[in-house]
Amino acid sequence: MLGEILNTYYLQIGSFILINIMLAISVYVPLSSGQLSLGSAGFMGVGAYTSALLTIHFDLPIVIGIIAGALAASALGVIVGIPSLRLSGVYLAIATLGLGEVIRVIFVNWDSLTRGSVGLTGIPQLGREILEFARGVGFEPAMIGIKNNQFVFLSIFLVLLVLVIVILWFVVRQQNSRVGRALSSINLDEKAAESMGINITYYKVISFTQGAFFAGLAGALFAHVIGYISPADFSYHRAVEVLIFTVFGGSEVIIGSVFGAFFLTLMPEVLRFVSEFRYIIYGILLVVLMAVRPQGILDANLLKKIKFKRSKGGIR
Amino acid sequence: MVIEVKNITKNFGGISALKDVSFSINKGEIFGLIGPNGAGKTTMFNMITNIYEPTSGEIIFQGENITGIKPYKITEKGICRTYQNIRLFSQMSTLHNVMVGGHSQSHSGVFSSVFRTKAQRKEEQLLIERSEELLELVGLLEHKDTIAENLAYGQQRRLEIARALASNPSLLLLDEPAAGMNEKETDSLYDLIKTVQSRGITVLIIEHDMPLVMKLCDRITVLNFGEKLAEGTPEEIQNNEAVIEAYLGKEEDEVDA
């Protein structure tokens, strides 16, 4: 029964959507303190390569690799963050974009470690490892009526889903607190925030580093979901794509990032039947949106209206 | 003595915005800083809060030299200000503006905020109570959920004062709080500043509304072209010839410009 419903193709798209949501959040978090960072592709690459190399060469469990990847990305975030946070706006965007390119070029040229532009293959796959673990404790996918590869894709999807929920929970909780108010006040008026006793450097580094962490985490997961990575996966195209998720969905509210990543990952798949025209549609959609709704699809006002309607409906 | 400003000079390029200005304020005083436009009054505020560092001179606050320390640390030590051109967090609610003002009075970090520890929840509750109490003081409690930019002009000025008070300052700096206010609003501002004083907070105020300054201040320092022209009680200032000349000698620098 379950075996008939589970379509591995859909599960795979679902997994990509979830990874892209993490990436969109990695842009959203620094942006919520007024920092436009285009470093997500670079941080993603650091997470991916760190985890892939550790698991391939040292036979470490995937979980350890992923955690190490995310931490390596955040360490780089701190190192790069402290000097570059003197920059703001477009200047920070360009500096972080440059950082991403530097990282990519290192991946291309450090042949002995990264195998250059060919990339790394044979990265241990998350789904297979979960399957082996399940078998180790005496569980067979057939017991719930699904095939092995269905189980693999389903387990990846569920792991990612749980992680995205945890990240959302984390970010929302943080937002509705002293830390979140500090971040948002820096975004709205940095000078006034500082004269209210807020250590702006500290909070900027925190949010920048959190962004790097989420990007590194997404990168490490990406490596173990796909099983193959190359420097091209972390080029500036990726950085721009991720930025578009956040800007398209609405950069003022976190649900905007979620929606943007969901919609823009799904749309090319849904539009597969018009083949090459789909990226034209994608482009036109972006141009129209920026013209009529520069703040993105979702913003605080729209959410308020939706909530208001719902509560009115509730009374009836 | 709460604060002692000692021989402050500030040069921007070749221009001196402040030249060797000194004054000191006693605890509990309302101290006025007046002078024609461009006299260096706001620059003096920026020196005290170290938004700009003075070229030379020292600022001693409660016996401690605070010259050159970071602005957020100055707030932590007990000096908070408002701005001449209102600088609220325009997209935040009135209540949240005041709660940001209470930042230095609270301590929760990322971890305790995300996990909502007992201490964090207690602190947050206390912060809300204190902020609401301050909103009541400035008469904005009923607007606590209004987005700051939707408040009327006079209300925004009062909110800025509440936000500054939330940092629990010993010295409050007000930069033209009555600017753009009508007579009725100015009257209630007077009452508000007097209440602030009665809570033991020292006030340093820049203001162009002379009747208000004369009624409100215990002592006044007059600046003109970056130099200290006079200092004294309101009566002394009103009868000081140099001051009269500075104000009336040039028509474009009207008193309440």
In a domain, B16, yes or no: yes
Does residue A187 fall inside a structural domain? yes
Q: What one-letter code names the amino acid at B110?
A: V
What's this model's pTM, rounded to 2 decimal places?
0.90
Domain contains A205: yes
Domain-ending residue, one of B166, B199, B225:
B166
Q: What is the DSSP letter of B93?
A: B
Calpha distance B166→A156 (Å, rounded): 48
Give residue A115's pLDDT: 87
Out of A22-31, A61-70, A144-153, A175-184, least confident range: A144-153
Are B66 and B173 in a shared domain?
yes
Average pLDDT over residues A252-260: 92
For residues B218-223, give the mean pLDDT. 94
Verify that B46 and B114 share a domain, yes or no: no
pLDDT at A308 over 50: yes
Number of helices (H), then strands (E), in chain A = 15, 0
Whether residue B51 and residue A195 make contact (CB cut-off 8 A), yes or no, is yes
Q: Decide: B10 and B39 in contact? Cβ < 8 Å.
A: no
Cβ <8 Å between A192 and B88: yes
> pLDDT-based confidence at B4, cuts 50/70/90?
very high
A174 contacts chain B (CB < 8 A): yes
Q: Compare all CA atoms of chain A with the CA of B109 and give the residue at the minimum distance.
A: A179
Range of the domain at A219: 2-234
Task: Indicate whether B84 belongs to any domain.
Answer: no
Task: From chain A, pick out residues whose CB is under 8 angstroms from the CB of B85.
Answer: none
- How distant is the Cα of B50 from the closest Cα of chain A, in angstroms? 9
Domain that holds residue B33: 1-78+169-257
| B252 in a structural domain | yes
Is B85 within the bounds of a domain?
Answer: no
In a domain, B150, yes or no: yes
B167 class by beta-carbon count within 10 Å (0-12 exposed, 13-18 middle, 19+ buried): buried
Q: Using a CB-CB distance cutoff of 8 angstroms, which residues of chain A are in contact with residue B127?
A: 178
Same domain, B160 and B178: no
Using the Cβ of A158 and the Cβ atoms of chain B, whether some distance falls under 8 Å is answered with: no
Total domain count, chain A:
1
Same domain, B13 and B33: yes
Contact A179 B110 (CB under 8 A): yes
Phi, psi of B22 (to 5 degrees): -135, 140
The CATH number of residue B34's host domain is 3.40.50.300
Q: Kindly state the tokens that stand for B73.
A: 């640390």
Query: Does residue A170 sit at the B interface (CB-CB below 8 Å)?
Result: yes
Using CB atoms, pick whichever of A177, A189, A200 lies closest to residue B108.
Answer: A177
Average confidence (pLDDT) over A46-64: 93
Q: Return the residue of A nearest to B121 by Cα.
A: A177
Position A23 scores a pLDDT of 96
| Site of tokens 């936000």 | B163
Chain A: give the shortest CA distance to residue B163, in Å: 8
Token readout for A155 is 């387990």
Q: Say yes or no for a CB contact (<8 Å) between A184 and B92.
A: yes
Across the range A23-38, mean pLDDT stands at 93
Q: What is the pLDDT of residue B99?
A: 96
Other C-beta atoms within 10 Å of B249: how many? 11
Q: Is A82 exposed, middle or buried (0-12, 13-18, 19+ CB in 10 A)?
A: middle
Q: Are residue B67 and residue B194 in the same domain, yes or no?
A: yes
Q: Is A196's CB within 8 Å of B101's CB?
A: yes
User: Is the residue at B215 inside a domain?
Assistant: yes
Q: Summarize the confidence of residues A75-104 as an average pLDDT.
A: 88
Minimal CA–CA distance to A12: which of A160, A166, A131? A160
Per-residue confidence (pLDDT) for residue B37, from 0 to 100: 86
* A313 within a domain of the structure (yes/no): no
Q: Which of B75, B123, B124 sits opposite A196 (nearest CB)?
A: B75
The shortest CB-CB distance from B81 to any of A181, A195, A199 is to: A195
Q: How much of chain A, in percent, has pLDDT values that exceed 70? A: 97
Query: Is residue B243 situated within a structural domain?
Result: yes
Contact A77, A209 (CB under 8 A): yes
The mean pLDDT value for B130-152 works out to 94
pLDDT above 80 for B127: yes
- From chain B, the residues in CB contact with A181 under 8 A are 92, 96, 99-100, 103
A200-215: average pLDDT: 95
Structure tokens at A59: 């036979």
Mean pLDDT of chain B: 92
CB pairs under 8 A between A and B: 90
Is the same domain home to B58 and B181? yes
Indicate whether A17 belongs to any domain. Answer: yes
Closest by Cβ to A191, choosing from B87, B104, B163: B87
**If you search the block for the tokens 């009680």, which residue do you land on?**
B233
Local confidence band at A314 (pLDDT 50, 70, 90 cut-offs): very low
Residue A211 near residue A29, CB atoms below 8 Å: yes
Please write the tens of the pLDDT for every residue from A169-178. Answer: 999 999 999 9
For residue A1, what pLDDT is reported? 59
Is A196 within 8 Å of B104 when comparing Cβ atoms? yes
- pLDDT at position A316: 38
Question: How far apart (Å, rounded) are the C-alpha atoms in residues B25 and B218?
Answer: 10
Closest-approach residue (CA) in chain A for B115: A173
Chain B residues whose C-beta sits inside 8 Å of any chain A C-beta: 49, 51, 70-72, 75-76, 80-81, 83, 87-92, 96, 99-101, 103-104, 106, 108-110, 113-116, 120, 123-124, 127, 163, 167
Secondary-structure percent of chain A, ordered helix, strand, coil, rounded to 5:
80, 0, 20
Sort B61 into a burial class: Cβ within 10 Å, 0-12 / 13-18 / 19+. buried
Nearest-CA distance A70 → chain B (Å): 18
Q: Which residues of B are less than 8 Å from A197 in CB distance?
A: 72, 75-76, 80, 103-104, 167
Total domain count, chain B: 2
User: B119, B149, B166: which is the final residue of a domain?
Assistant: B166
DSSP 8-state symbol, B36: S
Do B212 and B244 sit in the same domain of this protein? yes
Give the pLDDT band of residue A135 (cuts 50, 70, 90).
confident
Q: Which of A167, A190, A191, A195 to mutate to test the interface with B (most CBs of B within 10 A)?
A: A195
Q: What is the pLDDT of residue A310?
A: 66
Assess whether B145 and B29 both reside in one domain. no
Is residue A301 within 8 angstroms of chain B, CB to CB? no
Q: Is pLDDT above 90 for B256?
A: no
Buried b (16+ CB within 10 A) or exposed e, A277-311: ebeeeeeeeeeebeeeeebbbbbeebeeeeeeeee
User: Residue A195 and residue B80: Cβ atoms within 8 Å?
Assistant: yes
Is A100 or A142 the better-scoring residue by pLDDT?
Answer: A100
- Residue B221 within any structural domain of the chain: yes
Q: Which of A176, A130, A126 is nearest to B127 (CA)?
A: A176
**B83, B89, B167: residue with CB nearest A185:** B89
Interface membership of A33 toward B (CB under 8 Å): no
Domain assignment present for A26: yes
Residue A54: inside a domain: yes
Q: Which of B75, B110, B123 sits opposite A197 (nearest CB)?
A: B75
B105 & B154 share domain = yes
Share of chain B above pLDDT 90, in %: 81
- CA angle B62–B63–B64, rounded 5-degree value: 95
* Distance between CA atoms of residues B148 and A190, nearest Å: 16
| Confidence band, pLDDT 50/70/90 cuts, at residue B257 | very low
Cβ of B80 within 8 Å of Cβ of A198? The answer is no
CB contact under 8 A, A196 and B81: no
Candidates A35, A46, A5, A15; CA nearest to A214 is A46
| Residue B186 and residue B65 share a domain | yes
Within a domain: A280 = no
pLDDT surpassing 50 at residue A315: no
Of B148, B166, B184, the position where a domain reaches its end is: B166
CA distance A47 to chain B (A): 23
Q: Which of the four pLDDT bands, split at 50, 70 and 90, describes residue B252? A: low
Q: Band of the pLDDT at A143, cuts 50, 70, 90?
A: confident
What pLDDT, on a 0 to 100 scale, did the predictor assign at position A302? 84
Closest partner residue to A196 among B51, B113, B163, by Cβ?
B163
Q: Residue A134 domain-assigned? A: yes
A175 interfacial to chain B (CB closer than 8 Å): no
What pLDDT, on the 0 to 100 scale, is given for residue A291? 86
Residues B196 and B154 in one domain: no
